[in-house]
Structure 1
Amino acid sequence: MSPALPLLTAADGHGREARPLVVTGVPDLLDDLLRLAAAAGVTTTVATEPGALRRAWAAAPLVVVGMDRAEACIAAGLPLRPHVVLIGGHVEDGRVWSAGARIGADHVIFLPEAEPWLIDAFSDLDGLGLRGSVTIGVVAGRRGSGASTLAVSLALSGLRHGLHTMLIDADPRGSGVAPGLARLLPAAGDPPPGGTGQRPTNPFPPPDGAPPDPLGGGAAPSWPGLVARRGELAVVSWDLGVGPDVPVGPMATLLSTARSTSDLVVVDLPWQQDPAAALALSSCRTALVVLRADLASVMAAERVCAAAGRRCSDVRAVVRQRPSARLDPAMVSEMLGVPLA
């Protein structure tokens, strides 16, 4: 029997924070990862029990996790962080993609095909930043509640506040985010009626306390110029040719890319979860359930909240209230058993 691997190994106790962290208990995989790290000229910290390594997990510039330890990392409640790579066994194994989403992996790779890529990743540690990313899911408690409109509003708010934002339409059966964008995104580059050349009002005024910033030069300022100053917004939808269900593999890749490139990720989720939507929900820090303040909507939203709570630890209600509504938001929150957003 081979001797057990130590919980933590390093050449010495100095400079541990600067080392990439390798989390695996499989000797052959560990040998491969150490070989690739040596080829990149770096020394790694090796872990076998992630529950005891919270400080190393948060401080390492890069974390490489073997599939054998993925579930243990998830069970240990390690915080989501950028620059996590999961080493999968087989690309057809759906458990790999599910674990990658739940652990917050930026990349899911398979060896030996990805060895050159991983060597490059080990070599480029100085270029890695620990910018955090927040993923928020928005789902309707009942059809027609306005979840897609709220998702668009959140994305545009992130844009206004200078965040790199990605809006993901994960509901191919719904009306999509395009109607919401059409209503809420002003045509900043269009000249006013009559062609007078008058400058349009800035649709995204600076946050409170910030000095006013006029739109850029030129007779008709364009939307790209405004985006460059206020942040960036990427909108991702799906070709109708893929069918009614979004493929799980592309969704996992998209979520990894979103986390590594965006400050804020907003996911418009379907009312009824398919496997890809369940995967996206598992990656969310917060899930917002949108509903109207009426009894029928509350009864439908109870099931949605229960389903969301099985995959996301922070589920909140967004209650749309009308003057004629008999239920106030606090009552709706109590009935659903989730806090108000």
Structure 2
Amino acid sequence: MNRLAAPPSTGLAPALVLVRDQRLRAEVRRVAAAAERRTDERAMPVGRHAWSGAGLVIVDTAAARAAASAGCPRRSGIVLVTEGEPAVPDWQAATAVGAERVVALPGGAVDLVEQFAAHAEVETGSGVVVAVTGAGGGAGASTLAAAIALRGAALRIRADTVLIDGAPLDGGLDLVLGMENVAGLRWPDLVIEDGRVSAAALHSALPAGAPGLVVLSCGRHGPGRSPTELTPAAVRAVIESGRAAGDLVVCDVSGERGPAADAMVDAADLVVLVVPARLRAVAAAEVLAAHLGSRNPNRGLVVRGPAPGGLRGADVAEVLGLPLLAAVRGQAGLAARLERGGLSVRRRGPLRDAADAVLAMVGADRR
């Protein structure tokens, strides 16, 4: 077992501001500037990572109601702001979302400054997290996840790319890359203490799949060996170490379901759903898309051919109510390449196009 050290703490996280009214939002900005704190202004719905990872969450009454209806988890550091003295509906919304304080602005500016000071947490970093999952067996989620990681490393969109295997029953993501014999740690070898892990230690301990790319793969089963068990705490620790270091983190969720898979979905800046252009796969994807949406609204769709019944990507996107990132045909010879020596995306083709479309969606291609 290899015990990985925790990283040092650095910086302050921006406060998540979910305030629609322009005058009230401007007042929050003014107070944040006085408190010397940055803000991350968004609109509901937001992903669970943004909600749970912010040091302070500032909501108005409408956002508080929306967050409560969406099932955003209870947490410390929620403040509801109102323009002028709060009324009964404001207090009801504060109770529903679990707000610690209701602050009337502009008169309560000092109180809000104190809340900024009381909830100054560790900076979460500038990394990008993409989770890839599939609808139906053999959707191709693992292959797409590996292609995204390879393209990200080749383009150097971040200093480092980390590919995380979140499918312990799929035989090991290192096989997809043809690196099963490359030395380095796999999930069963890791012991993460205190729920945190140093990105530098992780980069040096994991096997390299390509220049700038390290891979955390599940182990393979065998006589006397149990399946790899992934815990949500370990998954979050690895993902957040990459995010804090500014890495591109790609998670292969595949068809996995459960707490560890949910942790990957919750943490993602973008969840990519891969759906084969077949009727049964689309039917399965309807249920899966609803589940993903309950955890993270930031979703995109990749439709993969061939389409025996003539299903088009736009048709599938309309049925699922998801933005279409790419609709690609089947790639000739891909299965044989995976069997012989592992995946590569050096040449142009449908897989590379899909990977580039995902990276463009998260803005990674502009770095």
TM-score of the superposed pair, with normalisation by structure 1: 0.50
C-alpha offsets along residues 47-82 of structure 1, whole Å, 9 cap, x if unaligned?
Answer: xxxx94698499759xxxxxxxxxxx998969959x
Report what 1:170 is aligned to: 166
Report what 1:320 is aligned to: 304
Compared with structure 1, are the counterparts of its residues 333 and 306 closer, same or farther at alpha carbon in structure 2 (3 Å cutoff)?
same
Q: Which amino acid aligns with 1:261?
A: A
Report what 1:159 is aligned to: 153
Compared with structure 1, are the counterparts of its residues 323 and 167 closer, same or farther at alpha carbon in structure 2 (3 Å cutoff)?
same
C-alpha offsets along residues 59-112 of structure 1, whole Å, 9 cap, x if unaligned?
Answer: 759xxxxxxxxxxx998969959x9779xxxxxxxxxxx889xx9xxxxxxxxx
Q: Say whether 1:132 aligns with 2:126.
A: yes
Measure how far apart 1:318 and its partner are. Answer: 0.6
Q: Say whether 1:304 aligns with 2:284.
A: no
Long gaps (5+) in structure 1: 1-17, 24-50, 62-72, 87-97, 104-127, 188-222
Long gaps (5+) in structure 2: 1-9, 16-26, 57-72, 79-121, 183-206, 326-367
Q: Which amino acid aligns with 1:134?
A: V
Q: Which amino acid aligns with 2:318?
A: E
2:303 aligned counterpart, secondary structure:
strand
Report what 1:27 is aligned to: none
Alignment match of 1:266 (pick from 240, 250, 254): 250
Bigger relative contact order, structure 1 or 2 (CA pairs below 8 A, ≥6 apart)? 2
Separation in 2, partners of 1:55, 1:265: 34
Separation in 2, partners of 1:54, 1:294: 53
Separation in 2, partners of 1:324, 1:19: 53
Report what 1:13 is aligned to: none
Compared with structure 1, are the counterparts of its residues 53 and 149 closer, same or farther at alpha carbon in structure 2 (3 Å cutoff)?
same
Separation in 1, partners of 2:238, 2:292: 20
1:170-249 aligned within 5 A = 170-182=166-178, 227=211, 232-239=212-219, 243=227, 245-249=229-233
1:40-51 aligned within 5 A = none
2:324 aligned counterpart, secondary structure:
coil
Measure how far apart 1:243 and its partner are. Answer: 3.6
Equivalenced residues, count: 209
Separation in 2, partners of 1:177, 1:19: 34
Compared with structure 1, are the counterparts of its residues 244 and 99 closer, same or farther at alpha carbon in structure 2 (3 Å cutoff)?
farther
Compared with structure 1, are the counterparts of its residues 77 and 59 closer, same or farther at alpha carbon in structure 2 (3 Å cutoff)?
farther
Larger Rg: 1
Q: Say whether 1:288 aligns with 2:288.
A: no
Q: Say whether 1:279 aligns with 2:263.
A: yes
Percent identity over the alignment is 28
Do 1:152 and 1:181's aligned partners in 2 also have CA atoms closer than 8 Å?
yes
Separation in 1, partners of 2:30, 2:316: 38
Measure how far apart 1:333 and its partner are. Answer: 0.7
Compared with structure 1, are the counterparts of its residues 130 and 269 closer, same or farther at alpha carbon in structure 2 (3 Å cutoff)?
closer
C-alpha offsets along residues 9-33 of structure 1, whole Å, 9 cap, x if unaligned?
Answer: xxxxxxxxx985799xxxxxxxxxx
Compared with structure 1, are the counterparts of its residues 180 and 309 closer, same or farther at alpha carbon in structure 2 (3 Å cutoff)?
same
Compared with structure 1, are the counterparts of its residues 262 and 238 closer, same or farther at alpha carbon in structure 2 (3 Å cutoff)?
farther
Do 1:141 and 1:301's aligned partners in 2 also have CA atoms closer than 8 Å?
yes
Do 1:321 and 1:329's aligned partners in 2 also have CA atoms closer than 8 Å?
no
Separation in 1, partners of 2:301, 2:310: 17
2:215 aligned counterpart, secondary structure:
strand
Q: Which amino acid aligns with 1:288?
A: V
Compared with structure 1, are the counterparts of its residues 156 and 22 closer, same or farther at alpha carbon in structure 2 (3 Å cutoff)?
closer
Do 2:167 and 2:256's aligned partners in 1 also have CA atoms closer than 8 Å?
no
Measure how far apart 1:133 and its partner are. Answer: 1.2
1:182 aligned counterpart, secondary structure:
coil
Do 1:133 and 1:264's aligned partners in 2 also have CA atoms closer than 8 Å?
yes
Separation in 1, partners of 2:241, 2:289: 27
